[in-house]
Amino acid sequence: MSANRSENIIMAVPKGRILDELVPLMKKAKIIPEKAFFDKKDRRLLFSSNISWLKIIRVRSFDVATFVAFGGADIGVAGLDVLKEFNYPELYMPIDLKIGTCHLSIAEPKNYNKDDNIQIKIATKYPNITNNYFANKGINVNCIKMNGAMEIAPKLEMADKIVDLVSSGKTLLANDLVEIENILNVTSHLVINRTAFKTRSKNIRDIMVFFREALNEKNT
Ligand code: PRP
């Protein structure tokens, strides 16, 4: 399938857990991806939809914001965690989709008793959010950037604390960590490339209307 960029709107959606909540919302918004999209074994990344001018790419949640910011995709669905971490000025986020609800928290081992006056090491996927958060408190931390499984880092003595997403809390519990502070409430948002919003305004506004109707919000 060709992704003729001048004729198509490309929507980036995150694969993984969030897709289970996003697909029903897309259906409500009358956006139905082609069958192959639902086949996890299908190695294609670009899919068509029931809307002739709308193509869908399925990418890692962290990459959705980057695809949209650099114009590879025109619109996307991204968590506030990812949006804050990258803080791309090219992105406009007009609609909170109210799915993927979780929060970003600082967690530490149950019996943590280190002096916080020494520079602490924090394992996280979110070094920018973490550094900013502690800098605002006047605390200098050393972030170790990881892509997953950071919950084990304190036990292995490579980090003192972690900053990661918490949903049910089961992962923290299973790794003997306790949540000490919620630093960001997270939901997924519809994000739009600002340039695309100017040049492909009609189609992008249609998609916004579809999502707002699905969410029972007034069209603005
Ligand atoms: C996320 C997050 C935690 C876990 C929290 O990881 O990084 O590890 O979910 O969920 P819980 O509070 O319900 O246990 P995910 O499973 O999405 O995989 P990832 O590490 O690949 O991001």
CB 68 within 8 A of CB 193: yes
Q: Which residues line ligand 1 (CB under 6 A)?
A: 16-17, 148, 151, 164-171
Report the separation in Å between the CA atom of 10 and the middle of ligand 1, taken as the mean of its atom positions.
27
Distance of CA 177 to the CA centre of its chain: 23
pLDDT digits (tens, 9 = 90+) for 14-52: 998 899 999 999 999 999 999 999 998 889 999 999 999
Q: Is the pTM here over 0.85, yes or no?
A: yes
Report the separation in Å between the CA atom of 165 and the middle of ligand 1, taken as the mean of its atom positions.
6
Report the separation in Å between the CA atom of 128 and the middle of ligand 1, taken as the mean of its atom positions.
19
* Short-list 71, 94, 52, CA closest to 12: 71
Report the separation in Å between the CA atom of 94 and the middle of ligand 1, taken as the mean of its atom positions.
26
Locate the ligand 1 atom nearest the alpha carbon of residue 17 and give its number.
Answer: 17
State the burial class of residue 202 (Cβ atoms within 10 Å of its Cβ: 0-12, 13-18, 19+). exposed
pLDDT digits (tens, 9 = 90+) for 69-109: 999 999 999 999 999 999 999 999 999 999 999 999 999 99
Instruction: State the chain's mean pLDDT as an integer.
Output: 94
Distance CA 118, CA 141 (A): 9
- 213 pLDDT band (50/70/90 cuts)? very high
